[in-house]
Amino acid sequence: MTNHWDRPGWTSSTRAYYWMLTFPDADLLIDQARHCQKELRPLGFDDVDEDALHLTLGRIGTVEQVAPGQLHRLIAAAHAARPEAFNLRAVPLTASRGAIRYSVAPWISTIDLHAALSRAGSVVGLSPKKPTSALRPHIGIAYSNRRMPAHLVRDAVLPLRALDSVTVPVRRVQLVELRREGHTYRWDVIHELELR
């Protein structure tokens, strides 16, 4: 495992715009994530707070790179291109090199949403930082804060993979201004885009 927080270009003063899905009302997901975090606590990872559970769809740019007028045009273009609301399943539990996370299934609706937001960004000169083909949708619940052997995480996660998946409705996507506060992400919602 690597240290999730050791990322070039991020400091305590960095502010950037992102498209994200957030889950403030997904009680079943929040409860299960809390249970998993409790079981994984001996690893010493940084838990994601229940009000900070999210699925990152894409970085738009830093606040210095994006003019307010561009942001307004992006919101209008995204509104016109928005797809239908959908449900996704949060599937316990796996890890990446820097985090423990839920997988998401099926991918198709999340991929379609990313593609629509990417097209909207391209129309207003805010091309996405990553193409839709590179998106690997997931919901992180704990961040690695140091290097450590991956087998320790695999062993800890294995019993939690048997938990039932949780269905989460996706009715809106948020345009946020993201920042770091210590070892957590926080954001201010700039716009909440209702899906069709």
pLDDT at res. 94: 94
139-158 pLDDT, tens digit per residue, is 999 999 999 999 999 999 99
Task: Give the pLDDT mean for 161-166.
Answer: 96
CA quadruple 100, 34, 28, 196: dihedral sign: negative
CA distances from 158 to 2, 33, 144, 151 (A): 19, 15, 17, 10
Task: Give the pLDDT mean for 159-167.
Answer: 97
Residues near 154 by beta carbon (within 8 Å), at least 6 away in sequence: 95
Say what the pTM is. 0.94
User: What gap in Å lies between CA 144 and CA 6, rounded to an integer?
Assistant: 10
User: What gap in Å lies between CA 105 and CA 180, rounded to an integer?
Assistant: 28
The 3-state DSSP class for residue 71 equals: helix
Full set of structural domains in the chain with CATH: 16-194 (3.90.1140.10)
State yes or no: pLDDT of 11 exceeds 90. Answer: no
State yes or no: pLDDT of 9 exceeds 90. Answer: no
109-131 pLDDT, tens digit per residue, is 999 999 999 999 999 999 888 88
Per-residue DSSP letters for 78-101?
HHHH----EEEEEEEEEE-SSEEE
pLDDT at res. 153: 96
- Are the CB atoms for 33 and 131 separated by under 8 Å? no
Per-residue DSSP letters for 8-62?
TT--TT--EEEEEEE-TT-HHHHHHHHHHHHHHGGG--EEPPGGG-EEEEEEEEE
State yes or no: pLDDT of 33 exceeds 90. Answer: yes
Longest dimension (CA), the chain: 49
> The tokens 């900070």 sit on which residue?
52
pLDDT at res. 8: 82
State yes or no: pLDDT of 187 exceeds 90. Answer: yes
Give the long-range contacts of residues 185-189, CB within 8 A, separation 24 or more: 185/48, 185/52, 185/54, 186/52, 187/18, 187/20
* Residue from 114, 113, 79 nearest 194 by CA: 79
Task: Give the pLDDT mean for 55-67.
Answer: 93
Task: Give the pLDDT mean for 80-89.
Answer: 96
State yes or no: pLDDT of 45 exceeds 90. Answer: yes
The mean pLDDT value of the chain amounts to 95
